[in-house]
Chain A
Amino acid sequence: MTFIIVGASAGLGRSLAEKFASEKNDLILISSDMRDLIPLKSDLEIRFKVKVIPIELSLKKISVDFTKIIQSLNHISPLEGILFPVGYSDINDVPGLDDTTAIEIFNTNLICVCLIINHFLNSLKERKSVIIGFGSVAAIRGRSRNVTYAASKRGLESFFESLRHHMQNSNVIIQFYVLGYLDTNLSFGGQDQVFFRRIDVKKLSDVVYSNRFRDFGTMAYPKKWKLVKLLLPFIPWKIFKKINF
């Protein structure tokens, strides 16, 4: 079976690619830089003897060119799922951000994800399959940092909720993970605090793989973030405005 992984070249995407390939799934890997995808393709094909098709595609701009993905699907085993471990943030992402960066953040984190799902939804309906989205705890309640990013991820969560509602009687399972801080290069310079201890992407990939056909809707990962997700919206503004995280 084939899974499409959007944002596969590094971090969580790469780790998911390794996990799904190790379980003998074929893969279509999408990312903006072929120089990272080709080594990954070779590695997975050599080690796990699966078929991997790399596709260079930047999600920063719309519209999305689907031709390469469609062509690839003709040369690989049937599609069983699409995963979106894709994310793009910018350290300057505060209100007043320049148009280009703001649009790129919206496109990568939200709009292109929605467009890809819309495009492949019908073909996924044909058999038991899964669409997995990844949100962020940054989107629970807006702060003055990662403003556009958080807004996109909040929008994405809403899109996935609607999607699940719409697909309830179909073969397609819709999952959405609200993730705490990941241990990837994007967080490399960050502080590591006990509560915010970074998620090991390898462990997370194992969880995602073993959950892949469970219809749980939205899940906070690690679980302790569920509490934060519940409580954070109720913290009075007077206190919330003073919290720096």
Chain B
Amino acid sequence: MKIPYTKNTTFTSFDKTVSITTLHQKPDRTRMLEESITTFQIPRGSGLSYVPASFGQDTLVRELSPFNRILEFDVKQKTVVVESGITLKKLLEWSFTEKLYLPVQPGYPDITIGGCVAANVHGKNPHKYGSFKEHVIWIELFHPKNGSRILESKSELFEATFGGLGLTGIITKVKIQLRDLPSDRITVEPRKVDSMIESAEIFERNPNSEILYAWHNGSILKNFEKGVVQIGSFSEGFLGNNLIVPKKTTIKKIQIPISFWGKFTIPLFNSINRNIETSQNKIEKDIFNNFFPFTFSTQWYFVLYGKKGFRECQILVSKNNIRDFIHDLTSLIRKEKPDLHLMGLKPFRGEQKFLQYCRDGLSITLNFKNSPSTSHFLSKIDELVMSYKALPYIIKDSRLPKNIVEKCYPQYEEFKNLLKKIDPDRIFKSYLSEQLNL
């Protein structure tokens, strides 16, 4: 079957570890989107996932960026219906003018709402606001074989589509609950901490902060575990009428041949950064800067990993295992001495279903240089994750083995069965879904 208006495009995962050339379509008319294309396909938002979730071998990539319009706005209910290709940036630019905002904002402004649903993303304080699904009233899902249908919150297919990695069909519309935006600025109080346990304790004492996360140095050479907790809350009132948005938000495409991050640069950079970040007791920044830190100079962080890219794994540990897990994790790091750069912490809350990354507990992110020793270390982490029945975040770790996901996600099989039920031919697939045997 010849599909019109397609071309071959090389897609690369954000962590730069997987590249594939495959057929690419960017429908910009409803009739193109709803054409009954029944070849293997996968929807794509902005392609900002660390993992190869929105492309795959011999799979038609259907990019939804032209479907990025705001369809309905209910001032009283503070709800908005949008097309799934709308970016967080476009939504915030508009919602700012209505003094409303979406409290769950993953770290990059070009991420689409479709991508937020399909990964069930989280923001800067997942304990306070939960994950993305808690802010969605319904979604419209299109499947070339089954047509369009509206899925209300809590229905089975709704839950499976959140964190469903685009495998249940194409999300076309999303009805979102917004909240009042109290200010155009957020005041952050950075606090120096010496260990991850200390951060976890601070989280417990400040559960309702607008922003609540921490980063820790991952290098065991010097200052291991030392870090900064960011506690932020809205300032008072509005200083301006316009949202301050940088002209260009696209991620830098520059490639450096080798990684700048090494044994000496990591602890040095982290300790300088720690001192800079904590040089003031309070820092007031505009909301764009706070919601999307990676838009600015921080994006160099990724560039400096070089052309081999990086690895990230994010693990959600249940509330009652936090201390033991951190103890075992730090012991493992000390023993194995991996190319670990950063460790990020966020408190979490939520009812976990299907492949969703949420539950009550603590999320720990580990960032590494991509190297053979990292792969070796990550296999040890896999064992640790399994022994604690923790959740690995699928959208962040492109080497995650199938058996880990199968063991850690209690509804892995149910998810697969549901996919078979809605489409026995399983036309939606990606590199990631094949890797995880989904």
Is there contact, CB below 8 Å, between B30 and A33?
Answer: yes
B28: chain A residues within 8 A (beta carbon)? 10-11, 14, 184-185
B76: chain A residues within 8 A (beta carbon)? none
A243: chain B residues within 8 A (beta carbon)? none
A11: chain B residues within 8 A (beta carbon)? 28
Interface assignment of B31: CB less than 8 Å from any CB of chain A: yes
Partner of B26, one of A9, A39, A43, A188: A188
Instruction: Knowing A9-B29, A11-B28, A188-B5, say if A39 contacts B69 (CB, 8 Å).
Output: yes
A35 to B27, CA, bound (A): 14
A185 to B27, CA, bound (A): 7
A224 to B115, CA, bound (A): 39
Is there contact, CB below 8 Å, between A47 and B70?
Answer: yes
B7: chain A residues within 8 A (beta carbon)? 188-190
Q: Which residues 14-58 of A sit at the B interface, judged by CB distance below 8 A?
A: 14, 33, 35-36, 39-40, 42-43, 46-47
Interface assignment of B71: CB less than 8 Å from any CB of chain A: yes
A10: chain B residues within 8 A (beta carbon)? 28-29, 66
Is there contact, CB below 8 Å, between A189 and B66?
Answer: no
Is there contact, CB below 8 Å, between A46 and B5?
Answer: no
Return the CB mask of B1-30 against A: 1 if under 8 Å, else 0. 000111100000000000000000111111
Is there contact, CB below 8 Å, between A42 and B29?
Answer: no
Is there contact, CB below 8 Å, between B29 and A186?
Answer: no
Nearest CB to that of B30 among chain A residues? Answer: A35
A130 to B185, CA, bound (A): 43
B6: chain A residues within 8 A (beta carbon)? 188-189
A127 to B431, CA, bound (A): 59
A33 to B31, CA, bound (A): 9
* Most chain A Cβ neighbours within 10 Å, of B5, B27, B73, B94: B5
Residues of B in contact, count (CB < 8 Å): 21
Is there contact, CB below 8 Å, between B69 and A40?
Answer: yes
Interface assignment of B83: CB less than 8 Å from any CB of chain A: yes
A39 to B67, CA, bound (A): 9
Return the CB mask of B73-88 against A: 1 if under 8 Å, else 0. 1000000000100000
Is there contact, CB below 8 Å, between B70 and A46?
Answer: yes
A9 to B72, CA, bound (A): 18
Residues of A in contact, count (CB < 8 Å): 19
B73: chain A residues within 8 A (beta carbon)? 46
Is there contact, CB below 8 Å, between B5 and A42?
Answer: no
A190 to B30, CA, bound (A): 22
* Most chain B Cβ neighbours within 10 Å, of A11, A184, A188: A188
B70: chain A residues within 8 A (beta carbon)? 42-43, 46-47
Nearest CB to that of B94 among chain A residues? Answer: A47
A32 to chain B, nearest CB (A): 10
Nearest CB to that of A189 among chain B residues? Answer: B7
Is there contact, CB below 8 Å, between B26 and A42?
Answer: no
Is there contact, CB below 8 Å, between B69 and A42?
Answer: yes
Nearest CB to that of A187 among chain B residues? Answer: B5
A35: chain B residues within 8 A (beta carbon)? 30-31
Partner of B94, one of A14, A46, A188: A46
Return the CB mask of A160-199 against B: 1 if under 8 Å, else 0. 0000000000000000000000001110111000000000
Is there contact, CB below 8 Å, between B71 and A42?
Answer: yes
A33: chain B residues within 8 A (beta carbon)? 29-31
A11 to B28, CA, bound (A): 8
Q: What are some 15 contacts across the A-B interface (CB < 8 A)?
A: A9-B29, A11-B28, A39-B67, A42-B72, A43-B69, A43-B70, A46-B72, A47-B70, A185-B5, A185-B26, A185-B27, A185-B32, A189-B5, A189-B6, A189-B7
Task: Give B contacts to A, CB under 8 Å.
Answer: 4-7, 25-32, 66-67, 69-73, 83, 94
What 18 new A-B contacts, CB under 8 Å, besides A33-B31, A36-B29, A39-B67?
Answer: A10-B28, A10-B66, A14-B28, A35-B30, A36-B30, A39-B83, A40-B69, A42-B70, A42-B71, A42-B72, A43-B70, A46-B72, A47-B70, A185-B5, A185-B26, A185-B27, A188-B7, A188-B25
